[in-house]
């Protein structure tokens, strides 16, 4: 018979369509609306996984998000293989393919279960004790062993093909949880006219009303009321209803993170449909209605498949119409579990016994159980269980002591009471208060605009819960002036009673495995051992035993672990502490957090107007920050070395054309512009003539080089400042900082013009001949426009700021034109260049040519600890200036002390050897370890123009070492170098002037 | 994500629009050239970094681009107030406790 454990008269799935799915390759049938857990249980399958450490057989414990055991892989296709999916949360759909985890070779026969026999070896803290020595064994033996043995599901090995969405939302009232409390609060808030968002983690709202059959609200059975209210709310314009949506994180100023699951329950989602959506909601008020989580009983061998929470069994029966067994036993310390026995009995399921460790529980549920003829063993405890892959019996004895008796069963429902779900409240930084009478941590003082209602606030009475939630929603909506709504609500059920910690048979002397934390295989004995070994704070107990550190974050187990530790320490629970609740409440996929920000959208890509031209001409690009820059332009048959050598030669023989657009550009304007420049740069600016340029050095206040660049004075009150490519934003920030906060009286405006100008550098002996036919209104002769000057005029019919400057040591120009004309002007220049045998060159050639001249690159020759003196730039400091940023810093004792690392040139003894950038420099490679390091190589290239390798380096006392022989130790042996000037080519600098 | 009130825009905007800029109310000395090493050390290196109320600079870099000052409690991560650059340090209750 299909689905033998489905009871036709029970549950709400009724005549739902059958759905076929597979688990570990075997085909099963469930019903539309089932979770994977309910569908497996309908087929009598309890065994779904192996535990983490001992590989013990495990089944479903819960029917919800708190599930510690029933983790499976869900494989939609080769790339979509989600690990560690809770079977109690995953809805089934036609063709769903689920597999068990952490077992080999099969679920029912697993070699790793040997760990269970070897369990003394794996007791609490075994990581810290067992794998200590020998040290070498870590890499080869221990770590591979641990990695293979530990862990749960397998991560997919292909990129995630799904897309994920991200939305920001604002509302007046955000309600987390759609049970009786959350719906009441949302209803009241919506009635008061507030903009409401209601989020519930399940496919349908209703919360505990899903199984609590005794509830009546507004004259309707609780579940029916919930669906009616939900339909009402969903139809309202001021309400956004989000199901399958978990509030996972509570952040500052009422920012709450929600994740909405959109497609995991669908047979074949549309390819453009996001799998999940991250909501970042900023709410004026938050109503937390997150309910409570039932705890299991802690007793020997309490982890066999078929042993589950009483509320879970009720959910399977009352909602899904599935019984978890034919002959079910109950073990409880609270009232609510009795109701499970009554529900099952009324559906025709045999109840083996109700075992309640309390001596004399009272109430209508007790009387009803007795009336139905159920064996009620009050004052008794379950002290053991039998069965290999499924529970088959329990051992029962009186709490006061006495003979043990074995009772056969095929399922055991346990409950030790309810833990309020205060996770989000705690994440909001609200303080929790321990209620000694009911042994619960409850929300105390809130520090954000929020209120907790219902079971998460400790309320166990439905009527009170609904009244409290209506009031909370009403007030959160600011509806104080209106009449407070009322709803009649009552339940025949009771949630009172309960216990914390280990039960009978799992006491201090017991060596039995009484599990506290199922997912991390932590027993009561482990927690006691942690205390015996000196752990005092629950934070230490947690880390030593790993209790509560699994993917379920100890939702069912933390309170038990805490109580056992407190008992061992003989201290009250609040003094032992409570571990911190951290986001996320339940696991969140990386996909949801990343959203669209991956691949091409991970980071913006910046391209210059000439990018496409470079691409069409075969450029190889390099990333410089967010920019794509042409690196070199290989011709047919050329590798990088050959291309760069040719480009270097060509620039110095005729000319080269280079895209310098990425340089940062800042327009400094105003009557006080020169005064401001004096303060920001080391150089003097007041006397710089209009139409002239100067190489500027910018320092931080501590005296170290921050940036550099050529500055042109266009008018008395206008400077065109260039910065390094990467430095543009921070230089502007630095300038703005001083202008706004230190020198606010200066009349200066700063404008970033980096994106406004395209820059074409034309460098080389033929540069003037190339641009001359294109330029209008500017006299390009050396007399009229010498090196380091700037002119405004026209080129190719568009306005230009034309700089005569050089980063190559050749006669050179940098043509600034409005960015939109960059490509057209570039092509015109290129056409002229070709007539003179010019080439296009990239950043690599730019680097080599400037290094041949000893020009530094900030960030390559400097690292934030280099002064202008160190870099050989003392000449750039205005000697008569009374202040500039960094002036006082430069006089600090360490900055004027001898022996500082200074910039020098290096020549290798073998001219063909090219040093490695970053390589260390020593005086004696044979010195005993630790060898004193003198400095390092900052730039190193093959120089085609010099015919030998060149390098720049920072070397201690370098300026005094000219001609010295030093060594660069490398794995193949030390390389001998000679300290030289930083200028390798055209030392007198005659070429720049023509 | 924090909401920060920009005193120039007169609006609370998300933290993403702002950049932190270090401790506030540290004026750059006007007589930099004559500053002793000790005074320079105090000006440039020494910061109070208290637990509790800090006065710090922020820049509304992706908004109006202005630098302004804020008083923030480092324990609760709450902004107590924000004010324009150049305005005096507000006298807040609980300071120095």
So what's the pLDDT on residue A509? 85
Only one residue has tokens 């410089």, namely A624
What does CATH list as the number for A500-569? Answer: 1.10.10.1100
Peptide bond into A187 cis (omega under 30): no
Note whether A733 contacts B77, CB cutoff 8 Å.
no
So what's the pLDDT on residue A129? 62
The DSSP H or E segment spanning A309 is: strand A307-309
The SS3 assignment for A597 reads coil
Peptide bond into A134 cis (omega under 30): yes
Note whether A701 contacts B66, CB cutoff 8 Å.
no
Distance in angstroms (rounded) separating the CA atoms of residues A730 and A752:
11
How far away is chain A from the Cα of B91, in angstroms, using its nearest Cα?
Answer: 21
CATH architecture of A851-993: 2-Layer Sandwich (3.30)
Q: Which two tokens stand for residue A138?
A: 């870590």
Residues 43-72 of A with CB under 8 A from B: none
All CATH 3.10.20.440 domain ranges in chain A, comma separated: 1-159
So what's the pLDDT on residue A149? 59
Residues 38-97 of B with CB under 8 A from A: 40, 44, 57, 59, 61, 65-67, 76-77, 85-86
Distance in angstroms (rounded) separating the CA atoms of residues A35 and A96:
11
Structural domains for chain B: 3-27+35-84 (3.30.2270.10)
Tell me the CB-side half-sphere exposure of residue A29, using CA atoms within 13 A: 9
**Nearest-Cα residue of chain A relative to residue B87:** A741
What does CATH list as the number for A664-752? Answer: 3.30.70.1400
Distance in angstroms (rounded) separating the CA atoms of residues A609 and B4:
37
A255 touches chain B (CB under 8 A): yes
How far away is chain A from the Cα of B37, in angstroms, using its nearest Cα?
Answer: 7
So what's the pLDDT on residue B95? 46
Q: What is the DSSP string of A525-547?
A: HHHHHHHHTT--SHHHHHHHH-T
Q: If you count residue pairs, one on A and one on B, with CB atoms under 8 Å apart, how many are there?
A: 49
Peptide bond into A332 cis (omega under 30): no
So what's the pLDDT on residue A485? 85
Closest CB to B33 among A252, A282, A888: A888
Decide which of 3.20.20.80, 3.20.20.370, 3.50.50.60, 3.30.420.40 is the CATH code for A164-292+420-491: 3.50.50.60
So what's the pLDDT on residue B96? 42
So what's the pLDDT on residue A120? 64
A580 touches chain B (CB under 8 A): no
How far away is chain B from the Cα of A883, in angstroms, using its nearest Cα?
Answer: 7
The SS3 assignment for A572 reads coil
**Which parts of chain B register pLDDT below 70?**
93-97
For residues A786, A792, A798 and A802, what is the CA-based torsion angle, rounded to 10 degrees? Answer: 30
- The Cβ of residue A280 has, within 10 Å, a number of other Cβ atoms equal to 17
Distance in angstroms (rounded) separating the CA atoms of residues A632 and A620:
6
B79, B72 in Cβ contact below 8 A?
A: yes
Closest CB to A883 among B33, B44, B57: B33
**Nearest-Cα residue of chain B relative to residue A895:** B37
- The Cβ of residue A86 has, within 10 Å, a number of other Cβ atoms equal to 24
Strands B3-6 and A276-288: unpaired
Closest CB to B1 among A252, A701, A889: A252
A205, A187 in Cβ contact below 8 A?
A: no
Q: What's the average pLDDT block by block, 10 residues per block, for chain A (994 residues)?
A: 89 93 96 98 95 89 96 94 96 97 77 70 64 64 62 84 96 98 98 97 97 95 98 98 98 96 96 95 98 97 97 98 98 95 97 97 95 97 95 97 96 97 96 94 95 96 96 89 86 88 89 94 95 92 92 94 95 89 95 93 95 98 96 97 98 98 98 98 97 98 97 98 95 98 97 97 98 97 97 98 97 98 98 98 98 97 97 96 96 96 98 98 95 97 98 98 97 97 95 84
A74, A97 in Cβ contact below 8 A?
A: yes
Note whether B77 contacts A883, CB cutoff 8 Å.
no
All CATH 3.50.50.60 domain ranges in chain A, comma separated: 164-292+420-491, 296-416
A66, A313 in Cβ contact below 8 A?
A: no
Q: Sort out which chain B residues have CB atoms less than 8 A from A883's CB and list them.
A: 32-33
Note whether B32 contacts A744, CB cutoff 8 Å.
no
Q: What is the DSSP string of A765-819?
A: TTHHHHHGGGEES---STTTS-SSEEEEEEETTEEEEEEE--SSSSSEEEEEEEG
Q: Sort out which chain A residues have CB atoms less than 8 A from B35's CB and list them.
A: 888
Residues 442-461 of A with CB under 8 A from B: 447
A702 touches chain B (CB under 8 A): yes
Q: Sort out which chain A residues have CB atoms less than 8 A from B40's CB and list them.
A: 888-889, 892
The SS3 assignment for B73 reads strand
Q: At what angle do helices A524-532 and A558-569 cross, to 10 degrees?
A: 40
Nearest to A710 by CA among A751, A744, A768, A761: A761
Closest CB to B86 among A447, A744, A889: A744
All CATH 3.30.70.1400 domain ranges in chain A, comma separated: 664-752
Note whether A740 contacts B85, CB cutoff 8 Å.
yes
ipTM of the complex: 0.96
Rama region for B65: left / alpha / beta (φ>0; ψ in -120 to 50; rest)? left
Nearest to A792 by CA among A815, A821, A769: A815
Instruction: Determine which of B40, B45, B60 to mutate to test the interface with A (most A C-beta atoms within 10 Å).
Output: B40
A429 touches chain B (CB under 8 A): yes
Nearest to A645 by CA among A633, A657, A629, A630: A633
- The domain made up of A296-416 is a member of CATH 3.40.50.720: no
Q: Sort out which chain B residues have CB atoms less than 8 A from A889's CB and list them.
A: 40, 44
Note whether A883 contacts B32, CB cutoff 8 Å.
yes
| Strands of the sheet with B78-84, listed across from one edge | B19-23, B53-59, B67-73, B78-84
Closest CB to B37 among A702, A733, A893: A893
Q: For residue A249, what is the DSSP state?
A: E
Tell the CATH topology of A1-159.
Answer: Ubiquitin-like (UB roll) (3.10.20)
Q: What share of chain A is helix, strand, coil (3-state, %, to 5)?
A: 25, 30, 45
Rama region for A986: left / alpha / beta (φ>0; ψ in -120 to 50; rest)? left
Closest CB to A887 among B2, B21, B33: B33
So what's the pLDDT on residue A484? 84
Q: Sort out which chain A residues have CB atoms less than 8 A from B65's CB and list them.
A: 736
Distance in angstroms (rounded) separating the CA atoms of residues A805 and A447:
61
A611, A623 in Cβ contact below 8 A?
A: no
Over residues A281-325, the pLDDT tens digits come to: 999 999 999 999 999 999 999 999 999 999 999 999 999 999 999
Cα B91 to chain centroid, rounded: 14
Q: Sort out which chain B residues have CB atoms less than 8 A from A736's CB and list them.
A: 59, 65, 67
Cα A558 to chain centroid, rounded: 25
Note whether A733 contacts B67, CB cutoff 8 Å.
no
B37 touches chain A (CB under 8 A): yes
């Amino acid at each position: 018979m299909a689905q033998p454990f489905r009871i036709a008269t029970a549950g709400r799935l009724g005549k739902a369509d059958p759905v076929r799915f597979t688990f570990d390759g075997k085909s099963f049938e469930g019903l539309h609306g089932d979770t994977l857990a309910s569908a497996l249980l309908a087929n009598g399958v309890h065994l779904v996984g192996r535990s983490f450490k001992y590989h013990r057989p495990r089944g479903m414990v819960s029917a919800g998000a708190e599930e510690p055991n029933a983790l499976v892989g869900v494989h939609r296709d080769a790339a979509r293989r989600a690990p560690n999916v809770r079977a109690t949360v995953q809805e089934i759909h036609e063709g769903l393919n689920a597999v068990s985890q952490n077992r080999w070779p099969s679920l029912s026969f697993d070699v790793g279960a040997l760990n269970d026999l070897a369990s003394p070896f794996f007791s609490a803290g075994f990581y810290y004790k067992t794998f200590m020595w020998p040290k070498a064994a870590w890499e080869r033996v221990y770590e591979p062993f641990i990695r293979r043995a530990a862990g749960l599901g397998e991560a997919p090995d292909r990129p995630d093909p799904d897309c994920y969405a991200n939305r920001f939302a604002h509302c007046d009232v955000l309600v987390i949880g759609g049970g009786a409390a959350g719906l009441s609060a949302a209803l009241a808030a919506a009635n008061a006219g507030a903009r409401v968002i209601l989020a519930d983690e399940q496919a349908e709202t209703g919360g505990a009303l899903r199984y609590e059959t005794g509830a009546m609200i507004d004259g309707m059975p609780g579940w029916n009321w919930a669906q009616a209210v939900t339909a009402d709310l969903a139809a309202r314009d001021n309400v956004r209803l989000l199901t399958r949506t978990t509030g996972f994180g509570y952040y500052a100023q009422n920012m709450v993170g929600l994740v909405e699951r959109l497609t995991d329950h669908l047979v074949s989602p549309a390819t453009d449909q996001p799998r999940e959506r991250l909501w970042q909601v900023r709410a004026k008020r938050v109503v937390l209605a997150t309910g409570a989580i039932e705890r299991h009983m802690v007793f020997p061998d309490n982890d066999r498949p078929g042993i589950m929470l009483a509320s879970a069994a009720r959910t399977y029966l009352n909602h899904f119409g599935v019984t978890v067994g034919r002959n079910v036993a109950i073990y409880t310390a609270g009232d609510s579990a009795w109701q499970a026995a009554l529900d099952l009995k009324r559906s025709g399921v045999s109840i083996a016994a109700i075992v309640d460790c309390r001596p004399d529980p009272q109430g209508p549920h007790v009387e009803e159980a007795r009336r139905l003829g159920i064996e009620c063993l009050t004052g008794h405890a379950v002290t053991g269980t039998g069965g290999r892959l499924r529970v088959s019996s329990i051992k029962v004895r009186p709490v006061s002591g006495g003979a043990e008796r074995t009772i056969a069963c095929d399922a055991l429902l346990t409950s030790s009471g309810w833990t309020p779900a205060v996770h989000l409240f705690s994440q909001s930084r609200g303080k929790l208060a321990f209620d000694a009478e009911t042994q619960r941590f409850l929300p105390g003082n809130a520090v954000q605009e929020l209120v907790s209602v219902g079971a998460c606030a400790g309320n166990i009475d439905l009527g009170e819960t609904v009244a409290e939630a209506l009031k909370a929603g009403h007030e959160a909506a600011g509806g104080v002036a209106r009449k407070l709504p009322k709803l009649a609500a009552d339940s025949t059920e009771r949630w009172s009673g309960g216990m914390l910690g280990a039960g009978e048979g799992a006491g201090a002397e017991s060596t039995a495995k009484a599990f506290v934390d199922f997912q991390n295989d932590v027993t009561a004995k482990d927690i006691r051992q942690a205390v015996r070994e000196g752990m005092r704070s629950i934070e230490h107990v947690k880390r030593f035993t790993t209790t509560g550190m699994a993917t379920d974050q100890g939702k069912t187990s933390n309170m038990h672990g805490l109580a056992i530790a407190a008992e061992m320490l003989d201290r009250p629970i609040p003094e032992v502490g409570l571990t911190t609740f951290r986001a996320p409440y339940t696991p969140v996929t990386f996909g949801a957090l990343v959203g669209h920000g991956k691949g091409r959208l991970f980071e913006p890509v910046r391209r210059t107007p000439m990018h496409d031209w470079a691409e069409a001409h075969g450029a190889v690009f390099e990333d410089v920050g967010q920019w794509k820059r042409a690196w070199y332009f290989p011709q047919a048959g050329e590798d990088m070395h050959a291309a760069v050598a040719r480009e270097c030669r060509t620039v110095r023989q005729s000319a080269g054309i280079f895209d310098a657009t990425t340089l940062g550009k800042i327009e400094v304007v105003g009557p006080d512009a020169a005064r401001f420049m004096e303060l920001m740069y080391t150089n003097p600016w007041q006397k710089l003539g209009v139409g002239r340029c100067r190489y500027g050095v910018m320092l931080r206040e501590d005296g170290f080089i921050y940036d550099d660049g050529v500055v042109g004075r266009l008018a008395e009150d206008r400077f065109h400042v260039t910065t390094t490519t990467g430095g543009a934003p921070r230089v502007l920030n630095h300038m703005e900082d001083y202008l706004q906060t230190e020198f606010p009286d200066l009349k200066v405006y700063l404008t970033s013009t980096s994106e406004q100008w395209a820059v074409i550098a034309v460098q080389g002996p033929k540069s003037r001949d190339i641009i001359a036919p294109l330029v209008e209104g500017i006299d390009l002769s050396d007399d009229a426009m010498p090196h380091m000057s700037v002119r405004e005029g026209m080129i190719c019919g568009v306005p230009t700021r034309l700089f005569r400057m050089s980063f190559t040591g050749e006669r050179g120009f940098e043509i600034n034109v409005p960015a939109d004309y960059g490509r057209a002007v570039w092509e015109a220049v290129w056409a002229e260049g070709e007539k003179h045998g010019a080439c296009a060159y990239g950043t690599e050639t730019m680097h080599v040519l400037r290094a041949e001249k000893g020009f530094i690159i900030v960030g390559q020759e400097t690292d934030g600890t280099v002064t202008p003196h160190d870099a050989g730039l003392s000449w750039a400091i205005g000697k008569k200036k009374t202040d500039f940023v960094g002036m006082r810093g430069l006089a600090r004792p360490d900055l004027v002390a001898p022996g500082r690392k200074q910039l020098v040139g290096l020549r290798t003894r073998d001219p063909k050897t090219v040093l490695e950038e970053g390589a260390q420099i020593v005086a004696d490679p044979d010195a005993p370890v630790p060898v004193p390091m003198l400095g390092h190589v900052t730039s190193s290239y093959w120089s085609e123009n010099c015919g030998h390798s060149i390098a720049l380096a920072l070397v201690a006392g370098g300026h005094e070492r000219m001609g010295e022989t030093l060594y660069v130790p490398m794995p193949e042996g030390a390389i001998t170098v000679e300290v030289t000037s930083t200028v390798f080519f055209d030392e007198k600098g005659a070429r720049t002037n023509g | 994500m924090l909401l920060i009130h920009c005193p120039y825009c007169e609006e609370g905007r998300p933290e993403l629009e702002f950049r932190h800029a270090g401790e506030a109310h540290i004026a750059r000395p006007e007589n930099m050239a004559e500053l002793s090493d000790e005074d320079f050390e105090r000006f440039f290196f020494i910061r109070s970094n208290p637990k509790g109320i800090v006065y710090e600079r922020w820049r509304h870099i992706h908004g109006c681009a202005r630098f302004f000052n804020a008083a923030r409690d480092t324990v609760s991560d709450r902004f107590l107030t924000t004010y324009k650059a150049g305005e005096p340090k507000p006298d807040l209750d609980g300071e120095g406790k």
